[in-house]
Amino acid sequence: MLTTDAGNVITYSGDLNMLPDGNNVASLEIGGTPVDFSDAGTYYNVSTVNYLAAGSCNFNNAGVTLWPLNQIVADTQFYVRDSVIDYITAMGTISPAVEGRLVLPVP
């Protein structure tokens, strides 16, 4: 499952009761502009946590990472837990809310 910043939308397809087959993203809009998945010449910066990039949590193909590690342009070594701790500390009180960034098929 992927997520995106507020204001962008990922629409998933398929049966949520089945394991994903790798082709479950129906569409992606960034800033209101649809992403053309067939355009191999356009690159996007993405971020992930290091354990997923390295192929853990079943994000691998027979032990080989699915992420193009040779295309890493920045490695902050900043842990997700530290980001969450810093955010909550700065906010004092948080109020989680559904923002509509993911659109899932209705079973």
Q: Regarding beta strands 60-61 and 33-34, do their DSSP bridges make them parallel or antiparallel, or are they unpaired?
A: unpaired
- The H or E element containing residue 27 is strand 25-30
Model-level pTM?
Answer: 0.52
* CA neighbor of 4 nearest in space, from 105, 101, 104, 106: 101
Per-residue pLDDT of the chain (107 residues; tens, 9 = 90+): 567 777 888 888 887 788 777 778 889 998 899 999 899 898 887 777 766 766 666 666 777 776 667 777 777 777 778 888 898 899 888 888 888 887 777 76
